[in-house]
């Protein structure tokens, strides 16, 4: 289930022409402090997420203590939805769909607690530099400009609280400088005690179905053999496979394989599904906001590449995928 958060945050490319080594070092230290603040601060606030013409307002409660992290996000407009995260256990609640999803995978795009950690692991493929000083949610904030090393991923602009180092705002920026997504706090309180009941869903009592996904287990020999039938000959530098599953089911009953490739920050999914009669499928490119998709047909299978990366990235990956019949 896709919830209100598609949280990857942004940047526009307003780099100074000359950047000193000292500025580089200061920017990286600020990024490290931001990463630590995301894990250790207790705070509550309201932030807005905008992608294209769609705007959502979300209330967040985040607590950090000896037991780890506890986080709850509530949609304040549109469909009533919630996300509750307890360390690596994530529950997504959608009463309209009468469904609750529980997964031990980290909240893929949690804001503002998830992005700093993903950025920290992906810095070899992005340049991090200091920008200007601004005010966000009534607080002084330092700007970080994060520029990808190539044209196969997006960039970011981040605004970090000068006092607490908490991420207050981000922009996801395309190669042409267009802002694709924005997250920004309108109010934030970091000097607060949050009682236990604030982390309890207010949607209890609905007739819902729970789905539990355990952590991925090591692939067995048969699964590995199946995987190697389909392989991309090209991936952007730093991208590698981080997940593989065949538990998905298409609407027509066909099994769908999924592989996820990531550099730690940006990610791309490849879906492979056997063709069935009277089954339509994406052919060529498509996009919704910052998400691009590319579909093709190969060896009687639909192959679809989807990711929050530029269109040329999903197309190049899709065109490089090949099938090897291991029985030959």
Give the SS3 label for residue 99.
strand
Whether 203 is in a domain gets the answer yes
Our count of domains for the chain comes to 2
Q: Are residues 223 and 195 in the same domain?
A: no
Supply the angle between the helices 21-40 and 115-122 in degrees, to the nearest 10. 140
Task: Report the distance separating Cα 174 and Cα 277, nearest Å.
Answer: 38
Together in a domain, 281 and 302: yes
- The least confident of 27-36, 160-169, 244-253 is 244-253
Domain-located, residue 164 = yes
222 & 193 share domain: no
**Prior bond of 112 cis (ω within 30°):** yes
State residue 91 phi and psi, 5-degree precision: -120, 120
Query: Do 142 and 225 sit in the same domain of this protein?
Result: no
Does residue 221 share a domain with residue 162?
no
* Domain termination site, one of 211, 241, 256: 211
Close Cβ partners of 188 (under 8 Å, ≥ 6 residues apart): 43, 44, 45, 47, 137, 139, 161, 166, 168
Same domain membership, residue 187 and residue 170: yes
Q: Give the CA distances from residue 40 to residues 34, 68, 70, 323, in Å, rounded to whole numbers and listed in that order.
A: 10, 9, 11, 46
For 294, residues 6+ apart whose C-beta sits below 8 A from its C-beta are 282, 284, 285, 286, 304, 305, 311, 314, 315, 317, 318
Give the range of the structural domain holding residue 34, as residue numbers without chain letter: 21-211
Identify the pLDDT of residue 12: 24
Q: 328, 231 in Cβ contact below 8 A? A: no
Same-domain status, 143 and 251? no
148/60 same-domain check: yes
Across 143-168, average pLDDT: 95
Assigned domain for 3 exists: no
List, for residues 268-291, the tens digit of each pLDDT value: 999 998 887 656 678 889 888 889
User: pLDDT at residue 152 above 60?
Assistant: yes
Domain identity same for 42 and 134: yes
Share of the chain above pLDDT 70, in %: 74
Can you give the pTM of this predicted structure?
0.79
CATH at residue 141? 2.50.20.10
Position 288 scores a pLDDT of 83
Looking at per-residue confidence, does 209 or 133 come out higher?
133
Q: Are 257 and 219 in contact (CB under 8 A)?
A: no
Look at residue 16 and tell me whether its pLDDT is greater than 50.
Answer: no
Q: What is the pLDDT of residue 103?
A: 57
Query: Residue 179 falls within a domain, yes or no?
Result: yes
**Looking at residues 163-185, what average pLDDT do you find?**
93
Do residue 173 and residue 225 come from a single domain? no
On the question of pLDDT at 306 being above 70, the answer is yes
Domain annotation covers residue 272: yes
Residue 10 in any domain: the answer is no
Residue 294's DSSP bridge partners are 285, 305
The DSSP string of 231-274 is: EES---TT-EEEEEEEEEE-TTS-EEEEEEEESSSSEEEEEEEE
Same domain, residue pair 34 and 160: yes
**48, pLDDT greater than 50:** yes
Domain of 245: which CATH number?
A: 3.30.200.100
């Amino acid at each position: 289930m896709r919830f209100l958060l598609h949280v990857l945050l942004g940047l526009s490319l307003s780099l100074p022409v000359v950047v000193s080594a000292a500025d580089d070092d200061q920017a990286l230290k600020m990024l490290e402090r931001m990463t630590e603040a995301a894990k250790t601060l207790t705070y509550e606030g309201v932030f807005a997420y905008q992608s294209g013409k769609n705007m959502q307002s979300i209330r967040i409660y985040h607590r950090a203590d000896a037991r780890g992290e506890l986080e709850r996000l509530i949609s304040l407009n549109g469909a009533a939805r919630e996300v509750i995260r307890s360390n690596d256990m994530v529950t997504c609640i959608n009463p309209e769909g009468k469904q609750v999803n529980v997964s031990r995978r980290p909240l893929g795009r949690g804001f503002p607690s998830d992005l700093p950690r993903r950025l920290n692991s992906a810095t070899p493929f992005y340049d991090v530099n200091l920008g200007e000083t601004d005010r966000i949610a009534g607080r002084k904030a330092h700007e970080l400009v994060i520029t990808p090393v190539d044209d196969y991923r997006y960039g970011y602009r981040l605004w970090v609280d000068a006092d607490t180092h908490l991420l207050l705002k981000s922009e996801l920026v395309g190669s042409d400088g267009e802002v694709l997504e924005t997250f920004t706090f309108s109010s934030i309180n970091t000097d607060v005690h949050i009682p236990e009941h604030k982390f309890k869903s207010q949607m209890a009592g609905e007739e819902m179905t729970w789905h539990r996904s355990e952590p991925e287990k090591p692939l067995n020999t048969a699964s590995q053999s199946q995987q190697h039938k389909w392989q991309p000959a090209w991936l952007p530098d730093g991208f590698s496979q981080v997940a593989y599953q065949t538990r998905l089911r298409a609407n027509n009953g066909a099994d769908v394989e999924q592989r996820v490739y990531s550099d730690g920050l940006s990610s791309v999914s490849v879906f492979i599904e056997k063709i069935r009669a009277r089954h339509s499928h994406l052919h060529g490119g498509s996009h919704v906001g910052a998400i691009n998709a590319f579909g093709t047909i190969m060896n009687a299978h639909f192959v679809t590449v989807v990711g929050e990366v530029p269109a040329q990235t999903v197309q190049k990956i899709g065109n490089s995928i090949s099938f090897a019949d291991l029985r030959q």
